[in-house]
Amino acid sequence: MTHSVSSGSISPAFLPAPPLPACSTLALFLDVDGTLVDFADRPEAVRVAPSLPPLLRTLRERLGGALAAISGRPLRDVDALLGLGGPAAGLHGGEIRYADGRVAAPPRGDERRMAALYAQAAAFAARWPGVVVETKPDALALHYRTAPAAAAAVREAADALLREAGPGYALQPGNHVVELKPAGVDKGGAVAALMREAPFAGRTPWVLGDDLTDEHAFARAAALGGAGVIVGPRRPTAARYALAGTDAARAWLAALAAPSPVARGRKA
């Protein structure tokens, strides 16, 4: 199973905190779990701070609409959590919703095959208390946050699922999770697709994220003249800046959304 991301990742001893770039030129892409909200034992158990949705709405307005959540969750779950709507990407870029409401998604795979894979994953999880199966459209994830001793077994089970799924699928490791998803889909592609259209086109992309799935987006942002901001201690990374955790990420977003500090008038 491949864990690396071909992104020119670096591992400096220290990454600086991000400055506050000018809102008039910024396009902002935000991972959800581990970036905006803290992880929970189960994906459905995460808690959203009451102040977060209004903060994101205010920030989107300041950015002229150029803000999008990019998540491994389906779009419907992102919407339910954030109450934000508008441009967004779900399923690691497998679903992309544009500012005009269009949703782009590749054709789904064989439903019977996916049902068999869900059942195989559930049978594995039943043998490992604490392992949670998250089912998604044409994808699934094995979470082992409360069962770290199961890490090696989860990787073996994921490899077996991949063999059953066939060449159209790939494994994406993450923070106490391994996901089976369609091959060739990642958050970098989602950033690139959204950046081609209004209100993102012509702006400088910045990406906030915490996990390996965000490295594709960090790399794409850098290639487009922007920057990645890693949330948390994970290294190596292609991000240019770092924030200590979700509290720091929300505080940085609040500072960016605040009325015109002098620092925001300067380009980072």
Q: How many domains does the chain have?
A: 2
Domain boundary among 136, 160, 182: 182
pLDDT confidence of residue 169: 95
Q: How far is CA 123 from the centre of its chain?
A: 28
- Residue 18 counted as domain residue: no
d(CA 216, CA 210): 12
Residues 33 and 99 in one domain: yes
- Residue 15 counted as domain residue: no
Residues 101 and 31 in one domain: yes
- Residue 1 counted as domain residue: no
- Burial classification of residue 128, based on how many CB atoms lie within 10 Å of its CB (0-12 exposed, 13-18 middle, 19 or more buried): middle
Residues 196 and 172 in one domain: no
Tens-digit pLDDT string for the chain (268 aa): 333 444 445 555 589 999 999 999 999 999 999 999 999 988 989 999 999 999 999 999 999 999 999 999 999 999 999 999 999 999 999 999 999 999 998 777 789 999 999 999 999 999 999 999 999 999 999 999 999 999 999 999 999 999 999 999 999 999 999 999 999 999 999 999 999 999 999 999 999 999 999 999 999 999 999 999 999 999 999 999 999 999 999 999 999 999 865 444 444 4
Residues 171 and 221 in one domain: no
| Cβ 162 vs Cβ 174: under 8 Å | no
Beta strands in the chain (DSSP E): 26-30, 67-70, 88-90, 95-97, 103-104, 132-136, 139-143, 169-174, 177-182, 204-209, 227-231, 241-243
pLDDT confidence of residue 13: 59
Residues 190 and 81 in one domain: yes
Residues 27 and 99 in one domain: yes
- The domain that holds 212 is classified in CATH as 3.40.50.1000
Domain span at residue 250? 23-105+185-256
- Burial classification of residue 56, based on how many CB atoms lie within 10 Å of its CB (0-12 exposed, 13-18 middle, 19 or more buried): buried
pLDDT confidence of residue 106: 78
Residues 33 and 98 in one domain: yes
**Residue of 31, 33, 77, 211 marked catalytic:** 31
pLDDT confidence of residue 10: 52
pLDDT confidence of residue 108: 79
Residues 235 and 128 in one domain: no
Residues 157 and 130 in one domain: yes
Residues 117 and 207 in one domain: no
- The domain that holds 165 is classified in CATH as 3.30.70.1020
- Residue 232 counted as domain residue: yes
Residues 100 and 189 in one domain: yes
Residues 134 and 244 in one domain: no
Domain boundary among 121, 154, 182: 182
Residue 31 bears catalytic tag: yes
Domain boundary among 182, 200, 216: 182
